[in-house]
Amino acid sequence: MTPGAVGVRLDCDGPVATVTLCRPDVLNAQTPAMWRAMSDFSRDLPGDVRVVVVRGEGRAFSAGLDLSVAGASGPGSFAELATLPEQECADRIAGFQAGFTWLHRPDVVSVAAVQGHAIGAGFQLALACDLRVLATDAKLSMAEVTLGLVPDLAGTKRLVELVGYARALEICATGRRMDAAEADRLGLATLVVPNAELDATVRDLTAGLLAHPRDAVVEIKALLAGAAGRSHAEQQRAEREAQTRRLRDLAGRGE
């Protein structure tokens, strides 16, 4: 276990790792210290982990950025970032993004278990995961615009991929909230279940992801993740090459 002194912890149980936001008293509002800790989790992850589950303690996934920290004058605050040279500010934000983008790793499948609020940084954390299981009380919003900001935690590309440009623009530019039913209609949810079934559903999904050979799942993830950037011919070639690797590996002829 990686302790949650900064409000987030990592627990590993065989092939399953769980990232838990553990600030339930403030609806798991996030801080730069939490993002740095989450980035470190990628280095701490044992090599046999195949599935990463991201969840929040209490009644919310995450209410977003902790404005009491961001609005102060210390490290990571808006005031401090605004004083930095342009490139240094961008580099600092790149470090924040790393707390989210490691969930894109090709060797793991990441699953967000979302209940209650998933606002701003919380929504982007859910988007960072490959799959999203939503409880029926989930409320999602890309609320950065309400602060005069843009979503900058690697969530915009995933959002466009899932719902298309026009709908992504409407969601981000209005900052409005959507419920689980709408998120499901738009393709943001992998599954929507009653709150009481959220944990069991995530366990069942995790078991399904672990039921088949790891190398096949890794190849499938790579094929699907890269499909949007390939032509039909390029995707077919990628399929042939991946299958050739699988056949050789299963026959004991892999290098």
- Tell me the average pLDDT across 174-185: 98
Region 231-254: mean pLDDT is 95
Please say whether the beta carbons of 119 and 143 come within 8 A. yes
**Of the ranges 10-24, 78-92, 177-191, 231-245, which one carries the lowest mean pLDDT score?**
78-92
Neighbours of 131 (CB within 10 A): 19
State the average pLDDT for the chain.
Answer: 95
Sequence-distant (≥ 6) Cβ neighbours of residue 7 within 8 angstroms: 21, 22, 23, 28, 30, 31, 33, 34, 37
pLDDT band of residue 68 (cuts 50, 70, 90) is confident
Q: Are 223 and 242 in contact (CB under 8 A)?
A: yes
Q: What is the structure's pLDDT at 253?
A: 74
Token pair of 62 as six digits:
């995450």
Q: Considering only CA atoms, which of 198, 203, 206 is closest in space to residue 116?
A: 198
Percent residues over pLDDT 70 in the chain: 96
Where residue 120 falls (left for φ over 0; alpha for ψ -120 to 50; beta otherwise) is: left
pLDDT in tens, 87-129: 999 999 999 999 999 999 999 999 999 999 999 999 999 999 9
